[in-house]
Amino acid sequence: MRATHVKRAFKYRFYPTDAQAAELSRTLGCVRKVYNMALAARTEAWARQERVNYNATSAMLTAWKKTEELAYLNVVSSVPLQQALRHLQAAFASFFGKRAKYPRFKSKKKSRKSAEYTTSGFRFRDGELMLAKMAEPLAIVWSRPLPEGAKPSTVTVSQDAAGRWFVSLLCEDPTVKPLPANGKAVGIDVGLEHLLALSTGEKVANPRHERRDRERLAKAQRELARKASGDGANRAKARRKVAKIYARIADRRRDALHKLTTRLVRENQTLVIEDLTVRNMVTNRKLARAISDASWAEFRSMLEYKAQWYGRDVVAVDRFFPSSKLCSHCGTLAKAMPLNVRTWTCEGCGTTHDRDVNAARNLKAAGLAASACGAGVRPQRRTPDGQSATKQETPRREP
């Protein structure tokens, strides 16, 4: 059964006053400090084969606040600090569940700066958001309305590398409901020449957002490289300039992907894609920049969660399925298909294919066949010793 209401985050930019910016910066620093100290404590306990969980780190936080060295933790709201410990607990749960790597320490310069407030740490009333320890509401730019009668359950404040401040409100959205079934299916082949090729014959152009700003980015990076290393004001200014260009590229890319995935999900009941390992593909030096700019992984992520929202189905076909070399008309398998071959003629039936559209049609057929028989197209994975990967494995012990 699908949930009646979907919880979704509504993200807005806001412009803090000098006092608010100072308070938020202190909070972000304390959140990072508490997270790193708790991670160090759990790591040391793990080495001693001792168990440390969220309750233990929460007790540690109380003790830290009473020390003279860490008394400044009492200045900021306690809610984001407790949430940092909960996030660390979730990170360890993902690690022991083999869904993620071991948690890493947060860096002052490289890690995402964010602080999460639960209902006890903020007040939302009449379109105004007031955070704990602040005397006035945030000046939020309401670029889109919240759902009628929305009551945020959590509020996350973040600052990106370009220095911009954002607030994300997690609310139930009653407008997100399963769409009426239409029986349509589409195969989707991602690429670089064209971002997408659909089994309908449609091709979606690759916007190449990074290429449009490549000269500006290169110039800004050269200016940054010429600055003296360290924490000087000039280097910080040059770093923000580079970050603003990256943010502009990412914003355009994300906006285009949102519009594209929403259209595909609304128009089709079943969407068939290829199960690509983008992480491995970007190791190719010649294609890494183009693949990263196309953002295939983000496209798939958006497609999957929107399909779940609106009652659609996404089928992933195994990456080793020969979608490009297989004739979608007669099923003849071509011997070789170099990347520079964009059109080819089948030796079996003489049909001339567009490489990408043909691949999309084969993906659609394979995905529908798998859905019909209730099985996946992906072959059963094997471990190096030849045993089935579905074999019960001994879980790692949690500290």
189 is catalytic: yes
Q: What is the pLDDT of residues 258-312, one digit of tens each?
A: 999 999 999 999 999 999 888 888 888 888 999 999 999 999 999 999 999 999 9
* Burial bucket for residue 259 (CB in 10 Å: 0-12, 13-18, 19+): exposed
Residue 230: predicted pLDDT: 77
Residue 140 and residue 239 in one domain = no
Statement to judge: residues 192 and 303 lie in one domain: yes
pLDDT at 228: 83
What gap in Å lies between CA 187 and CA 196, rounded to an integer?
Answer: 10
pLDDT band at 144 (very low <50, low <70, confident <90, very high): very high
How is residue 105 annotated by DSSP? P
**Closest Cα partner for 125 from 107, 143, 104, 146?**
146
Please report whether residue 384 resides in a domain. no
Is residue 399 in a domain? Answer: no
pLDDT, one tens digit per residue, over 208-236 is 999 999 999 999 999 999 988 877 889 99
- 285 and 206 co-located in one domain: yes
Backbone angles phi, psi at 339, to 5 degrees: -65, -25
Catalytically annotated residue among 356, 385, 393, 398:
356
- Per-residue DSSP letters for 70-89? TGGGGTS-HHHHHHHHHHHH
- Residue 313 domain flag: yes
- 144, 173, 202: which is the final residue of a domain? 173
Q: Count Cβ neighbours within 10 Å for each residue of 194-217 and write b for 16 or more, e otherwise.
A: bbbbbbeeebbebbebbeeeeeeb
CA–CA dist 14, 140 (Å, integer): 4
Domain boundary among 173, 197, 228: 173
Check if 313 is active-site.
no
Question: For the chain, what's the residue count?
Answer: 399
Report the pLDDT averaged over residues 345-357: 87
**Residue 294 pLDDT:** 92
As beta bridge partners, residue 271 has 186, 314
Closest by CA to 85, choosing from 106, 107, 110, 112, is 106
How many H helices and E strands in the chain? 10, 13
Residues 169 and 190 in one domain: no
- Domains contained in the chain, number: 2
335 and 260 fall within a common domain: yes
Tell me the pLDDT tens digit for each residue of 42-84: 999 989 988 899 999 999 999 999 999 999 999 999 999 999 9
Same domain, 210 and 356: yes
pLDDT bracket for residue 394 (50, 70, 90) = very low
Instruction: Provide the mean pLDDT of the chain.
Output: 88
Q: Are residues 164 and 206 in the same domain?
A: no
d(CA 138, CA 113): 18
Angle between helices 233-267 and 214-226 (to 10 degrees): 150
The whole domain housing 102 covers 6-173
Q: Tokens in use for 344?
A: 């080819």
Among candidate residues 156, 20, 8, the one with its CA nearest the CA of residue 80: 156
The residues pairing with 122 across neighbouring beta strands, listed in sequence order, are 131
Confirm whether 179 is domain-assigned.
no
Q: Which of 23, 116, 189, 293 is catalytic?
A: 189
Choosing from 274, 293, 347, 398, the catalytic residue is 274
Residue 180 domain-assigned (yes or no):
no
In a domain, 392, yes or no: no
Q: Is 50 exceeded by the pLDDT of residue 146? A: yes
pLDDT of residue 3: 46
Residues 205 and 323 in one domain: yes
| Statement to judge: residues 200 and 160 lie in one domain | no
Is 385 a catalytic site residue?
no
Instruction: Give 374's pLDDT tier (boundaries 50, 70, 90).
Output: low
Cα-flanking dihedrals φ and ψ of residue 271, to 5°? -120, 125
What's the confidence (pLDDT) of residue 35?
97
Q: Is 372 exposed, middle or buried (0-12, 13-18, 19+ CB in 10 A)?
A: exposed
